[in-house]
Homo-oligomer: A and B are copies of this chain.
């Protein structure tokens, strides 16, 4: 699968994915990265996720709590707040809009059987 393509496609959507994850249950960065790997996003590394988390925190979409860990430095646990919830709703609207139109093109591509004689 085009890795380069996936990278570009993830722009904008990865943010929504992560917000959706913390929406379902508060989580910390390392954990989120592991979840993403579980979900099949095997190429997403820590650095990418942490940078994203910093961004959404600075935008006030998530609340952060520091929780000590037994196995390393303290964890920063992120949870979606009200503003983040609204933002996530907007994300789903944008996603649905885009997905609908692209699926149309995709479908077109499959079914479109030009017994090419329209000529």
**So how many copies of this chain end up in the complex?**
2
Q: A101 to B38, alpha carbons, bound, how many Å?
A: 11
Stretch at the interface among A16-24, A26-34, A61-69, A70-78: A16-24
A residues contacting the other copy or chain, number (CB 8 A): 41
When distances are taken between beta carbons in the complex, the residues of chain B under 8 Å from A102 are 13, 16-17, 95, 99
Convert A88-108 into 0s and 1s, putting 1 for each residue whose CB lies closer than 8 angstroms to a CB of B: 001111110111011101101
Cβ of A112 under 8 Å from chain B: yes
Cβ-neighbour of A1 out of B25, B97, B103 (below 8 A): B97
User: Would you list the 9 A-B pairs with minimal beta carbon distance, nearest first?
Assistant: A8-B12, A9-B12, A11-B11, A2-B90, A20-B105, A5-B94, A6-B94, A1-B93, A8-B11
Question: Which residues on A are within 8 Å of B, measured CB to CB?
Answer: 1-2, 5-13, 15-17, 20-21, 23-25, 39-41, 87, 90-95, 97-99, 101-103, 105-106, 108-109, 112, 116
